[in-house]
Structure 1
Amino acid sequence: MKNLLLYRFGIFVISSVAAFLKGDFTLITGIIGYVGLIFLVIAGILTGSFMSGDRVRANYNAEDEERKERK
């Protein structure tokens, strides 16, 4: 949990420095927004949220016997 806070603080500091050097402080929200969007896409890919319904049904039907054994 402490590492996550440090990552967020680091991203904020980097975006603040970039905004200060550029002279446009609205750049902070843009940078933080893009970084958040990148993390959401990565999380979606790693959890398999972007799979189609056909793929999900095929995977569900393919593991019928293993699912019964687990129950």
Structure 2
Amino acid sequence: MRRSFYEYLMTLRNADSVEPEAEFANNAFHDQSFPKHEESYQKISDYLELNAGYLPSMTIFDEAYQKYQEIDKK
């Protein structure tokens, strides 16, 4: 069974890191409305564009999502 993007993102959490993906993961963890069971790029992207003021650039999401897809292929 494929894990959701959120489940993948939570593997990137690191409270001590200043890396953009770790900060994204830390902030998504605290976002009670984040679509936790979603796998769809478009649905997550739409949510983030409208609701995630904590994400300074959608490029961070794009790169994290690409890695999510690559890991899922293995």
TM range (shorter): 0.3 to 0.5
Greater relative contact order (CA < 8 Å, ≥ 6 in sequence): 2
Bigger helix fraction: 1
TM normalised by structure 1 equals 0.32
Q: Which has the larger radius of gyration?
A: 1
